[in-house]
Amino acid sequence: MILNDNNPSDKRIYPSRWECKKGKHLFSSVDNRSEEGKEELLTVSHITGITPRKMKNVSMFKAESLVGYKICEINDIAANTMWMWQGAIGVSKYRGVISPSYNVYRQKNDDFLPDYLDLLLREPTLVDVYHSLSTGIRPSRLRLYPEQLFSIDFPVPSKEEQQKIVDYLEWKISKINALINNLKKQVRAINEEKQVELSSVFTKGIAGIHTNFITCTEPVIGSIPDGWKVMKLKYVCKMYNGDSISDSEKDDYTTVTETPYIATKDVDLQSATANYENGLYVPENSTFKIAPKNSTLLCIEGGSAGRKKAYITRDVAFVNKLCAFVATDIDSKFLFYFLSSDIFALQFKKEMTGLIGGVSIGTIKRLFVPVPKIEEQKEIVHYLDNKCEVLDKTILLIQKKISVLMELRQSLISDVVTGKIDVRNIDIPQYEHITEIDSEYEEFEDEEDNVTGGGSWRSSLWLSQIRKKTDWSH
């Protein structure tokens, strides 16, 4: 059965045994408002679906009052009108409230099991239909309104087949999740090995070189080789925030190619590198602050604060959540490795404040760094370059295996949810339910609709597909 409904961009195909119904016959719009604002605040993301805000590392502004927010009941559908074109919709497992600018829908006749519907609503080919029907002047400001959702044809398998689909996927995804988690344990072990190496080098130097040590007054550093200094960061580098581009302005910065603009999402947590090809650029003579080549960018606010960092290999403009560290009286790569160490992380974490979590530049300037002579700094950099290259290559190989499994999982879910794989007669054995993916080394969500992360198999299963789409959420 092909569903096009006079929409040439609708390429969906479903089994002929499945019924097809218009959205207007399946769903109704609901607009109940909170009178006291005491309900749980929910977020609506194309990655994590419907999630209590308190369960997420979100750094977006939170309103002082939730009075007037839309109430979302358990099993209601919540949709982020602005990001439907990326699949920001899902079935809620929680009672709470969502933004007044979002939409709440409710099944009219309970045609769907909630677990199956949650999968279907974010199925990639259906998300493509949302995109084709969304309207707006700018690509980053598209909207999908209720009347457009109601015009869409939805497949309706029998309840028995819906349940079979959910049960089958829980079994298969549990097996894939187990493999992914084992690989992530390997990554965690290698990262721990790297941190041991960094901590040792910054307190003892390269093994075998130093025999005399002195006790540092800063307990987080401990002892250091005799002849080293412990200095505040402000004496060895310059630090400054970048400049933000509002969401409504981003389309104005895609036609120039002079200087790349780096947002938090463009900094890779694991590799500590930046993506310079995200499509955003600032003009050469702009007033944007620039992080020069061979400086370090560090996130200092939000869920990724103190974690996301990158050694910059070209001049870039950057968002205000990132701080540029420009070396003055210290080797630039030595500074980067120090900012990557647990010695710095412990100091940073101790100083974190605020609802969204962060450390001011003024406070960071007062943090301490062990400083050997410049010649030894360069020797340490050379040593760490070689050591970390081996470890990072091993991590990269493991991450490629994880990516293959993520793609396999995505493909399997899409094929089963759309009926391309018939699971009605497949017996499901006893198995260990593994619904969660280890997210310790995944990216934190810096905004409500950020890309990345772990979560349950139902909430993260679209990750690989979404990453292929343009992301304007930062």
- Contact partners, residue 407, CB within 8 Å, separation at least 6: 464
Q: What is the pLDDT of residue 393?
A: 94
Distance, CA of 398 to CA of 402 (rounded, Å) = 6
Q: Per-residue pLDDT tens for 268-324? A: 988 899 999 888 899 877 899 999 999 999 999 988 899 999 999 999 999 999 999
Confidence of residue 9 (pLDDT cuts 50, 70, 90): low
Q: Does residue 446 lie in a domain region?
A: no
Query: Would you say residue 456 lies in a domain?
Result: no
* Claim to verify: residue 177 and residue 102 sit in the same structural domain: no
pLDDT in tens, 81-102: 888 988 999 999 999 999 999 9
Spatial contact of 230 and 347, defined as CB atoms under 8 Å apart: no
Instruction: Give the pLDDT score at 455.
Output: 35
Q: Residues 433-451: pLDDT tens digits?
A: 987 776 654 434 434 333 3
Residues 6+ apart with CB under 8 A from 122: 46, 49, 87, 89, 90, 462
Q: How far apart are CA 5 and CA 84, in angstroms?
A: 20
For the segment 159-170, the average pLDDT, to the nearest whole number, is: 97
CATH of the domain at 22: 3.90.220.20
Structural domains in the chain (count): 3
Residues near 242 by Cβ (< 8 Å), separated by ≥ 6? 262, 288, 289, 291, 317, 318, 319, 320, 321, 322, 323, 324
DSSP codes joined into one string, 431-457? -----EE--TTSPPPSSTT-----EEH
**Assigned domain for 136 exists:** yes
pLDDT at residue 457 tops 50: no
Based on the fold, state whether residues 120 and 11 are members of the same structural domain. yes
Q: Are residues 364 and 392 in the same domain?
A: no
Pair 16, 89 in one domain: yes
pLDDT tens digits, 165-183: 999 999 999 999 999 999 9
- Whether residues 103 and 152 share a domain: the answer is yes
Q: Does any domain span residue 452? A: no
Q: Are residues 227 and 351 in the same domain?
A: yes
Containing structural domain, residue 417:
159-205+372-441
376 and 245 part of one domain: no
Q: Lowest-pLDDT range, 51-60, 217-226, 463-472? A: 463-472
Residue 70 pLDDT > 90:
yes
Task: Report the C-alpha gap between 327 and 89 in whole angstroms.
Answer: 45
User: Are 376 and 334 a contacting pair, CB within 8 Å?
Assistant: no
For residue 56, give the nearest of 101, 82, 94 by alpha carbon. Answer: 94
> What type of residue sits at position 122?
R
